[in-house]
């Protein structure tokens, strides 16, 4: 077992990993920026080292500083968390060069999955169901038009090295192709240093379903079933749940086998996620995230598998503690991402000092947080305050429990998106489980949230009061009546 691990990240994910280390008797090393000197994860760590100013480019993205701290402290492994350098193959290579265990997948798998073209080509060869399209870079405009005609419009242009929704553009017809291809190639070059672009069929309004996989260095690889991540804004996930309402048991097992096949094709070990699009009973492999995901807690809640613990064990050269037949999902889990953002300002990030902070509690509730009362949320990083996770015996009870937890959650001093989650939990389409990636714009969810916040503000109330709940209900009822008229 590794004796000392450096966590090259911050916030709630740094604490999550440290907790797993603590249970395994592993000493933890935190690296932090000037902006995070009073952060909870810094207080939690056994050892801590300042690595620079607030901006990530001067601290958390400084590979040389992080490696230097690891060598100085004798850390045998580095856990990258998610974001920052979690999927940076060059950082993993740097760790290996310095004799440090990168707690993640092998460099070869990271490089393969880092290129959407190479990964698509490999998956097609292995027999994984992929989105119809071509697995080759397209630069010639006439060739692009020929391929689009063959696939059938609309199509998607995608940057091979893209991520986070960057470098993606829908093309509805041939007239749009020339400008779109040039735009995406330029964006890809400027954002990723690689202007390779490929074409695939546009799947309208799919459901976004991902499978958690984890493997060891001895050839054992399993999946821990799916997570539904279709509630998204600008390609960013906001709410996740498991199991998905869309899958039959037969499809659930079949897609799980495809996820394992995809991971094995990549020569994968450690934790990762295979992402699929699902539409009208058909599923398509989209990509693989070579890291632990933000939404991993809901998988832990229904399977009992501690994914961070397994990551550390795998990195230590141990075999997985589980076989596929040991994984038996139970109940239903939902995760809401609680962000510091202003609904009245187009949901822009809203950093600042937290004046009051009280987390919900009780049976089936978990809060992964990196903040506390009096903490100042820095403006340099992701706006996430916490992840609120609930578990219950079935989906209706999980929704009821989440509503209760949101009602209990108290945050003041910074604007936040709890009203958004309250609106969604009460929305009839969400309650029925009939939603897809177009859910937020189709039902004008953000506009409803704005109305709720305005009513709360007018009543001088907070999201936990009865008046606030009445505001949510009144907006939901009005929106439902409006949608019925449209239908």
Of 185, 291, 366, 401, catalytic: 291
C-beta of residue 175 within 8 angstroms of C-beta of residue 154? no
Distance (Å, whole) CA 75 – CA 29: 8
Q: Which of 169, 175, 149, 174 is nearest to 157 (CA)?
A: 169
Strands 166-171 and 155-163: antiparallel
Distance (Å, whole) CA 252 – CA 254: 6
C-beta of residue 367 within 8 angstroms of C-beta of residue 360? yes
What is the H or E stretch that residue 339 is in?
A: strand 332-339
Look up residue 59 and give its two tokens.
């601290």
- Tell me which residue has tokens 């010639």: 140
Look up residue 481 and give its two tokens.
């009546």
Give the relative orientation of helices 296-303 and 307-315 as an angle to the nearest 10 degrees.
Answer: 100
Q: Specify whether 291 is catalytic.
A: yes
Distance (Å, whole) CA 199 – CA 260: 25
Q: Which residues pair with 7 in a beta bridge?
A: 30, 79
Distance (Å, whole) CA 246 – CA 427: 18
Distance (Å, whole) CA 450 – CA 427: 15
C-beta of residue 277 within 8 angstroms of C-beta of residue 208? yes
Say if residue 471 is exposed, middle or buried (CB neighbours under 10 Å; 0-12, 13-18, 19+).
buried
Which residues, in sequence order, are CB contacts of 150 under 8 Å at separation 6+?
A: none
Q: Residues with catalytic annotation?
A: 291
């Amino acid at each position: 077992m590794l004796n000392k691990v450096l966590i090259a990240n911050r916030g709630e994910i740094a604490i999550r990993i440290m907790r797993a280390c603590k249970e395994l008797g592993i000493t933890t090393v935190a690296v932090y920026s000037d902006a995070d000197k009073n952060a909870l994860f810094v207080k939690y760590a056994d050892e801590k080292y300042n690595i620079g100013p607030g901006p990530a480019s001067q601290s958390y993205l400084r590979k040389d500083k992080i490696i230097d701290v690891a060598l100085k402290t004798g850390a045998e492994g580095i856990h990258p968390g998610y974001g920052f350098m979690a999927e940076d193959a060059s950082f993993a290579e740097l760790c290996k060069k310095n004799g440090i265990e990168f707690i993640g997948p092998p460099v070869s798998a990271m490089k393969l999955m880092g290129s959407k073209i190479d990964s698509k080509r490999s998956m097609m060869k292995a027999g994984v169901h992929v989105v119809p399209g071509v697995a080759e870079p397209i630069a010639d405009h006439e060739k692009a038009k020929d391929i689009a005609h063959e696939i059938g419009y609309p199509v998607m242009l995608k940057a091979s090295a893209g991520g986070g929704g960057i470098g993606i553009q829908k093309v509805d017809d041939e007239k749009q192709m020339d400008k779109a291809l040039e735009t995406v190639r330029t964006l890809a070059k400027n954002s990723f240093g690689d202007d390779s672009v490929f074409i695939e069929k546009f799947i309208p309004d799919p459901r976004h379903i991902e499978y958690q996989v984890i493997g060891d260095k001895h050839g054992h690889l399993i999946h821990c079933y799916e997570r539904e991540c279709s509630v998204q804004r600008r390609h960013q996930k906001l709410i996740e749940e498991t199991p998905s309402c869309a899958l039959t048991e037969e499809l659930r097992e079949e897609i799980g086998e495809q996820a394992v096949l995809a991971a094995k094709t990549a020569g994968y070990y450690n934790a990762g996620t295979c992402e699929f699009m699902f539409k009208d009973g058909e599923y398509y492999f989209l990509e693989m995230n070579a890291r632990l995901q933000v939404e991993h807690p809901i998988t832990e809640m229904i399977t009992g598998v501690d994914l961070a613990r397994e990551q550390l064990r795998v990195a230590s050269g141990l075999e997985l503690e589980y076989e596929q037949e040991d994984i038996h999902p139970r109940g239903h889990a939902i995760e809401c991402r609680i962000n510091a953002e202003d609904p009245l300002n187009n949901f822009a990030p809203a950093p600042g000092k937290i004046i009051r902070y009280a987390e919900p509690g009780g049976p089936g509730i978990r809060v992964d947080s990196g903040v506390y009362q009096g903490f100042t949320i820095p403006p340099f990083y992701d706006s996430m305050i916490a992840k609120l996770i609930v578990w219950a015996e079935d989906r209706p009870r999980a929704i009821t429990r989440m509503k209760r937890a949101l009602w209990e959650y108290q945050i003041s001093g910074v604007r936040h998106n709890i009203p958004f989650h309250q609106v969604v939990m009460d929305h009839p389409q969400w309650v029925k489980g009939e939603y897809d990636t177009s859910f937020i714009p189709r039902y004008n969810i953000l506009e409803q949230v704005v109305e709720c916040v305005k009513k709360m503000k007018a009543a001088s109330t907070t999201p936990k009061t009865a008046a606030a709940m009445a505001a949510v209900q009144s907006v939901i009822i009005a929106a439902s009546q409006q949608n019925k008229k449209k239908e």
